[in-house]
Amino acid sequence: MPPRPPCSPSRTTARRRTAAGGLLAALVAAVALVPVSAGGAPAAAAATCPASSGEVLHGVPGSGRAVALTFDDGPSTWTPQVLDVLRSKGVRATFFVTGDHVARHPDVARRIVAEGHVIANHTQTHPQDVPGSVPRGRFDQLPASAQRDQLDRATRAVRDVTGVVPCLFRGPGGHQSSATTRALLRERRLGNVHWTVDSRDWEQPAGPSRGAVDAVVRAATTGGGSRPVVLLHDGQATARQDPEAHRGSTVAALPRIIDAYTARGHRFTTPDGRPFPSPRPAAPEVPVAADVDGDGRDDPGLFSAGRWSFLSSRTGLPVLVSHGTAGDAPLVGDWDGDGRDGIGVARRGVLHLRQTATAGPAQVVVRYGSPGDVPLAGDWDGDGRDTPGLRRGTRTFLARELRTGTSSWVQDLGGSRDQVLAGDWDGDGRDTLGVVAPDGRVVVTDSPVGSPSPATGARRATVPAGARVAAGDWHGQGRDALAVLAAGRPQVVALR
Ligand SMILES: [Ca+2]
Ligand SMILES: [Ca+2]
Ligand SMILES: [Ca+2]
Ligand SMILES: [Ca+2]
C-alpha cells in the first residue's frame, strides 16, 4: 500500500463524503467495478436563444396592452420579498442580475428560475464611471475586450448556478447603445433591453415612507404607453456601496404597480414579448464537503444538477464549480491519495471522477453500482486513498479499489430512507459510516467496515428533521464531524 503523502494534518486523514439516502431497495446483486472508456461529463446546457439584432429595445414589441416588469442589480437579500409579492399576485417578471451577486446569492438566483421568471445578464461587476468601479467607465464605451469579459463571465455565472443561459441583456446605468456593444450582443444572441419607464426607486431613501412608496408607484405607472418596460431594482450594484441602500420602497410599491397595470388591462410579459420559461422545480440539493481552497479545512457545499457551490473557509466567499448534470448524484474523495480532494458524480451506475474540485472533464470513469444507487466514498482501509461505496436500501456496499472488482464489504445500517454519510469520526485514518434518519436521528459508528456488528459502540445525535447534514473536517483537526449546513455554514453536531 502506498504510504500516506506528507501533508497537513487534515490531509492525512480521510474526510467527508456524503450521499443523499432514500432510494427504494433493489435486489442485491454483486456490484462490479468495471472500467469503461474515459469521457467527460456533458457540458452545460447549450444556448437556445433566438437571434438578436443587438439593437436597443425600449418597449415590448407587438400590439395590445402589455407590460414587462424588470428588476436590476440583484439578487440580494431583498429579492425573496420581491419574489413573494410576484407569487402572491401570480405575476412573472425579468431579473437583470450581476454575476457577482448571483455568486453571492445562488439560492435566490435558483429560486428566480424555479418560479418561472426570466433571468438576464446585467454584466459581472456592473461597471460604471464612478470611483471604485472595476473596470471603471461607461459600460458601452469600455474596450471591447472588457465588455466581452463582463458579458461572458455573467452568462457563465448564471449558467453555472441556475443551468439557464441568459438571452437578454441590460447595460449598467442603461449604457448599452454603442456599436461595439451591439455587435457583441448580436454575436452572443443577447437581446438588448433598455426601458420605457424608470420607477426611480434607486433614489428612494432607506426607510420606506408613504411618500417614497407613492413616488415609486407614480413613476412606475406613468407615461409608458401601451407596452412599457418598467425599470425597478431588487439590489444595489453601484461601486459606492451605500449601507442605506434599501429596496423596501420597491417591495411596498410592487403590489400597487401590479394592480394599476392589471386594472388598465395590461398583460404581464417579457421585455422581448417571448413567453416566460416554464417554472422549473428546483433540483434537490445534496450537501457535500471538500477542501476546495486548500486551507486544510473542509468547505461546506451543496450539489444540485451538476452545480457545486462551496463556501470557502478561507475567504467566506462562494466557490462555484460545474461538474455533472441534472440527475447525477455527487461524491467527493481523494482518489489518488495525494491529499487533495476531487469531485465526482454517479450517473446511471457510472462514476465520473475528477482529481480536483474543479470543473472539467472526468479523469477517471468507472462503472460501479446501478442506476438508482446512492454513491459515497471513503478511505475504508486507511491507506490514504478514497474508494467508492454505494447505498442500496439499508445496505451499503464498499469497494477497496477504484477498478474492476467487486465490493469488498457490505454493511447493513439504518433504514432505507436514511441519508448515509462516511467520515473518520475518531481520527484513526479510516472512514466509517453514519446514517441520518428522516426524523433527524443520527447514528455513527467507528467500527471498521465489515465488522460483524457495525452498530456496536455507535454514537448518536439528533438534528432537525430534514436538515442538510454533511461530514467534514471543518477545523482541520484530522477528524471528521457531522454538521448541519445552515445558510451554507456548518454547525457541528455533538455526538454522544
Ligand atoms: Ca477550506
Ligand atoms: Ca487527490
Ligand atoms: Ca483506501
Ligand atoms: Ca475512523
pLDDT score at 405: 65
ω into residue 75 within 30 of 0, thus cis?
yes
Is the pLDDT score of 373 beyond 70?
A: yes
Q: Taking phi first (over 0 means left), then psi (-120 to 50 degrees means alpha), and beta for anything else, what does residue 124 get?
A: alpha
Beta bridge partners of 101: none
Is the pLDDT score of 245 beyond 80?
A: no
Strands (E), 323-431: 329-333, 342-347, 350-353, 364-368, 374-378, 387-392, 395-398, 405-406, 409-412, 419-423
Mean pLDDT of 320-346: 92
Are 351 and 364 a contacting pair, CB within 8 Å? yes
pLDDT score at 170: 98
Q: How far is CA 129 from CA 28, 134, 135, 211, 377, in A?
A: 65, 9, 9, 31, 50
Mean pLDDT of 97-116: 92
Q: Taking phi first (over 0 means left), then psi (-120 to 50 degrees means alpha), and beta for anything else, what does residue 43 get?
A: beta
Mean pLDDT of 156-181: 94
Please give the single-letter amino acid code of residue 174: G
Rounded to an integer, what distance in angstroms lies between the CA atom of residue 106 and that of residue 329? 19
pLDDT score at 41: 27
- 40-49, 225-234, 276-285: segment of lowest average pLDDT: 40-49
Distance 284 CA to ligand 2 centre (A): 27
Distance 19 CA to ligand 3 centre (A): 18
pLDDT score at 456: 61
Ligand nearest to the CA of 314: 1
User: For the whole model, what pTM was predicted?
Assistant: 0.61
pLDDT score at 131: 87
Q: For residue 372, what pLDDT band results from cuts at 50, 70 and 90?
A: confident
Q: Treating both helix axes as pointing N-terminal to C-terminal, what angle do 144-162 and 179-188 enclose, rounded to 10 degrees?
A: 30
Distance 331 CA to ligand 3 centre (A): 15
Ligand nearest to the CA of 313: 1
End-to-end CA distance of the chain, in Å?
Answer: 34
Q: For residue 254, what pLDDT band results from cuts at 50, 70 and 90?
A: very high
Are 154 and 124 a contacting pair, CB within 8 Å? yes
Are 180 and 188 a contacting pair, CB within 8 Å? no
- Please identify which residue in the block is written with the cell numbers 411596498: 252
Ligand nearest to the CA of 357: 2
Rounded to an integer, what distance in angstroms lies between the CA atom of residue 149 and that of residue 171? 14
Q: For residue 3, what pLDDT band results from cuts at 50, 70 and 90?
A: very low
Distance 458 CA to ligand 2 centre (A): 30
- The secondary structure of the chain in percent helix, strand, coil, rounded to multiples of 5, reads 20, 25, 55
Sign of the C-alpha dihedral, residues 256, 257, 258, 261?
Answer: positive
Distance 340 CA to ligand 2 centre (A): 4
Q: Taking phi first (over 0 means left), then psi (-120 to 50 degrees means alpha), and beta for anything else, what does residue 112 get?
A: alpha
Average pLDDT, the chain: 86
DSSP-assigned letter for residue 73: S
Rounded to an integer, what distance in angstroms lies between the CA atom of residue 396 and that of residue 392? 6
How many residues comprise the chain? 496
Query: In 3-state terms, what secondary structure has residue 228?
Result: strand
pLDDT score at 107: 84
Compute how many other C-beta atoms are within 10 angstroms of the C-beta atom of residue 461: 18
Rg (CA), the chain: 25
Is the pLDDT score of 265 beyond 80?
A: yes
Give the pLDDT confidence of 40-88 residue by residue, as tens digits: 222 233 357 999 999 999 999 999 999 999 999 999 999 999 999 999 9
Are 387 and 398 a contacting pair, CB within 8 Å? yes
Please give the single-letter amino acid code of residue 296: G
Q: Which residues have beta carbons under 5 A from ligand 3 (an ion)?
A: 379, 381, 383, 385
Query: In 3-state terms, what secondary structure has residue 258?
Result: helix
Beta bridge partners of 435: 420, 443
Distance 14 CA to ligand 4 centre (A): 8
Q: For residue 242, what pLDDT band results from cuts at 50, 70 and 90?
A: low
Rounded to an integer, what distance in angstroms lies between the CA atom of residue 179 and that of residue 448? 67
- 21-25, 264-268, 481-485: segment of lowest average pLDDT: 21-25
Ligand nearest to the CA of 335: 2
C-alpha cell at 494: 455533538
Catalytic positions, please? 72, 233
